[in-house]
Amino acid sequence: MASKTPDFTTEGATSDARFDAVIIGAGFAGLYQLHCLRDRLGLTARVLEAGDGVGGTWYWNRYPGARCDTESHAYTYTFSKDLIDDWAWTERYPGHAEIRRYLNHVADMFDLKRDIRFGARVAKAAYDDRTGLWRVETENGHHYTAKYLITAVGCLSSANIPNIPGLDSFAGDWYHTGQWPHEGVDFTGKRVGQIGTGSTGIQSAPVIAEQAAHLTVFQRTANYSVPARNGPLSDEFKAYVRKNFPEIRATMHSTANGHAFTISERSAHDATPAEREKIYEAAWNRGGLQFRGSFKDLTTDKSANDTAAEFLKSKIRQVVKDPETARKLSDIDHPYAAKRPPIDTNYFETFNRDNVALVDVRAHPIQKITPKGIVTDEGEVELDIIVFATGFDAMTGPLLGMNIQGREGALLKDSWREGPKTYLGLQVAGFPNMFTITGPGSPSVLTNMPVAIEQHVEWITDCIAHMEANGIARIEPKAQAAEKWVLDVNAAANETLLPQAKHSWYLGANVPGKPRVFMPYAGGMARYRKICADVAARGYEGFEMVRA
């Protein structure tokens, strides 16, 4: 882990530093929010960022193989033509280092870093009923006050490290993929155990296996995966993207998931088995998340989904040579894409290597960690390094970790004891002037994140512009509007197969004790965009606005 930056500023150290807005986080969301408030509205804003650089999730996630699953030409801001013309991605999917280079480029191009304080982890944010201002305190004791508090903390930034007895006694080294050492980890000659086979584990296992003496993958839930088919982008493709960006952007803004590909308008039931096989085979060969778009009903109709699921399971059985390992890897308990579908580079092929083993911890749960390794009821696996690819306390974790207090000192963690409650994923009743970019109840993680982020940031910016122009001191959702939105989020999830994956992090099921509530809005980005626009057009319906 990088060493902590010493304070380089006295700002907020002896008296509160005062801004129109405090933005927490310097990833895609925080950078664009700063640009909008400062350069479009002329407000003062300070970004507080825990890391020592920009990047958000990509500042922390530097594990082997870390790469975005969205194709690079769509994993991008779309608000500036100059920026689009000025940047060319090099690979079909951007790696973590290239995304950091991109975000640094954006920060430099729009001169954003001068308004970001790095190494500033927020310890507390409290609304002051008397002044109508937020007071934000960092772990290093600096204080900020602002009319607006905007959280841009990401959905997947609070590491979930399982509480396995004996971890403290482990004599080797252990790491969580979301808190990866910046200097990297040398696996040469080491016996490595990796716990977790989500999108992250599926990316990291093949890379670790190439370097380590031996890799044991501990799998609790078998997972589907489609080959990513990554590779360098041709000059022709780069030129195509530059020339056609307005159409690509229009596609990203019109599809349910914000990607640059469209979903077929055909039902899987309207194709013969031979036609379906051909379509799935073509999608498999093309690779990537658009496998989901092969038919319009794969995410909503179980029997349509079964056809894709069976195709993908048969691919696992074809690729993996050892029948027992193939059986364990293809014994999948949920519909395809009901959990976030991973894409991979040589994931299933990795299990054909002599130095890789699979342990089924659903059948043989992990009992404890000893100084020497991991123990299941099948025995002890001796290890030098444990890699926790065990995901995140998603969506609510980063917000609840900041000790946020609203009106009359009410704690966010008390308001959300039964599960998160927001209006549109944008605001919480009782927490005036606090905006949550890609908060629970927003489409966020079910979509291409930069698209969701741009929409949120622009909506928040318009809302703040409206408040400033009309002398409005305070905005917050009405309690009934938030209650209704929670019902709408549930109803939207129930229109899909998503709730059928009982162990998914969308439901909070991966963190013991977390309330089981379906958190993201599954109605699609296009529908959500219209709902937000209509709410604003009707004078911010569902919100209460109070004049100064």
- Token pair in block for residue 422: 């927001």
- Cα 73 to Cα 233: distance, rounded to the nearest angstrom: 10
Amino acid symbol at 390: T
Which residue lies nearer to ligand N01 by CB, 74 or 428? 74
Q: Which of 474, 486, 492, 483 is nearest to 528 (CA)?
A: 492
**Site membership for ligand N01, residue 347 (CB under 6 A):** no
> Minimum Å distance from CB 142 to ligand N01?
31
> Residues 384, 376: contact at Cβ < 8 Å?
no
- Token pair in block for residue 358: 């699979």
Cα separation values, 193 from 92, 139, 172, 337, 401, Å? 30, 34, 11, 26, 29
Question: Quick one: which segment of 213-221, 260-268, 303-311, 525-533 binds ligand N01 (CB under 6 A)?
Answer: 213-221
Q: In terms of residues, how long is the chain? A: 548
Q: Which member of 33, 138, 199, 330 binds ligand N01 (CB under 6 A)? A: 199
**Site membership for ligand N01, residue 532 (CB under 6 A):** no
> Minimum Å distance from CB 385 to ligand N01?
17
Q: Supply φ then ψ for residue 409, to 5 degrees.
A: 75, 10
**Site membership for ligand N01, residue 345 (CB under 6 A):** no
Question: Quick one: which segment of 12-20, 121-129, 214-222, 224-232 binds ligand N01 (CB under 6 A)?
Answer: 214-222
Q: Which of 151, 232, 189, 195 is nearest to 398 (CA)?
A: 151
> Minimum Å distance from CB 218 to ligand N01?
6
**Site membership for ligand N01, residue 221 (CB under 6 A):** yes
**Site membership for ligand N01, residue 170 (CB under 6 A):** no
**Site membership for ligand N01, residue 389 (CB under 6 A):** yes
Sheet holding 379-382, edge to edge: 366-369, 373-376, 379-382
Q: How many CA atoms lie within 13 A of 548 on its CB side?
A: 10
**Site membership for ligand N01, residue 137 (CB under 6 A):** no
> Minimum Å distance from CB 274 to ligand N01?
33
Question: Quick one: which segment of 121-129, 216-224, 282-290, 370-378 binds ligand N01 (CB under 6 A)?
Answer: 216-224
Of residues 501-530, those binding ligand N01 (CB under 6 A) = 503, 505, 510
**Site membership for ligand N01, residue 154 (CB under 6 A):** no
Question: Quick one: which segment of 36-44, 215-223, 238-246, 348-356 binds ligand N01 (CB under 6 A)?
Answer: 215-223
**Site membership for ligand N01, residue 328 (CB under 6 A):** no
List the beta bridge partners of residue 47: 23, 116
Residue 181 has a CB neighbour count (10 Å cut-off) of 12
**Site membership for ligand N01, residue 390 (CB under 6 A):** yes
> Minimum Å distance from CB 215 to ligand N01?
15
Cα separation values, 286 from 226, 241, 281, 343, Å? 10, 18, 9, 12
**Site membership for ligand N01, residue 220 (CB under 6 A):** yes
Beta pairing class for 122-128 and 133-138: antiparallel
- Token pair in block for residue 544: 């209460």
Per-residue contact string for residues 18-37; x = within reach of ligand N01 by CB under 6 A: --------------------
Cβ-proximal residues to 47 (8 Å cutoff; 6+ apart), any chain: 22, 23, 24, 25, 26, 30, 31, 34, 112, 115, 116, 117, 152
Which residue lies nearer to ligand N01 by CB, 217 or 464? 217
> Residues 440, 420: contact at Cβ < 8 Å?
yes
> Minimum Å distance from CB 344 to ligand N01?
10
Which residue lies nearer to ligand N01 by CB, 68 or 399? 68
**Site membership for ligand N01, residue 286 (CB under 6 A):** no
**Site membership for ligand N01, residue 195 (CB under 6 A):** yes
Question: Quick one: which segment of 131-139, 259-267, 387-395, 403-411 binds ligand N01 (CB under 6 A)?
Answer: 387-395
Cβ-proximal residues to 17 (8 Å cutoff; 6+ apart), any chain: 11, 46, 142, 143, 144, 145
Q: Which member of 361, 381, 446, 457 binds ligand N01 (CB under 6 A)? A: 361
Q: Which of 374, 392, 393 is nearest to 384 (CA)?
A: 374
> Minimum Å distance from CB 203 to ligand N01?
6
> Minimum Å distance from CB 325 to ligand N01?
16
Amino acid symbol at 205: A
Of residues 34-93, those binding ligand N01 (CB under 6 A) = 68-69
**Site membership for ligand N01, residue 176 (CB under 6 A):** no
- Token pair in block for residue 328: 């364990």
Which residue lies nearer to ligand N01 by CB, 48 or 366? 366
Q: Which of 491, 512, 198, 228 is nearest to 344 (CA)?
A: 228
> Minimum Å distance from CB 393 to ligand N01?
10
Which residue lies nearer to ligand N01 by CB, 433 or 438? 438
Question: Quick one: which segment of 136-144, 198-206, 263-271, 534-542 binds ligand N01 (CB under 6 A)?
Answer: 198-206
Which residue lies nearer to ligand N01 by CB, 95 or 420? 95
**Site membership for ligand N01, residue 375 (CB under 6 A):** no
Q: Which member of 17, 116, 150, 156 binds ligand N01 (CB under 6 A)? A: 156
- Cα 46 to Cα 532: distance, rounded to the nearest angstrom: 26
Which contacts qualify for 279-283: CB closer than 8 Å, 24 or more apart?
A: 280/307, 280/308, 280/311, 283/226
Residues in contact with ligand N01 by CB under 6 A are 68-69, 156, 162, 195-201, 203, 218, 220-221, 340, 361, 366, 389-392, 445, 503, 505, 510
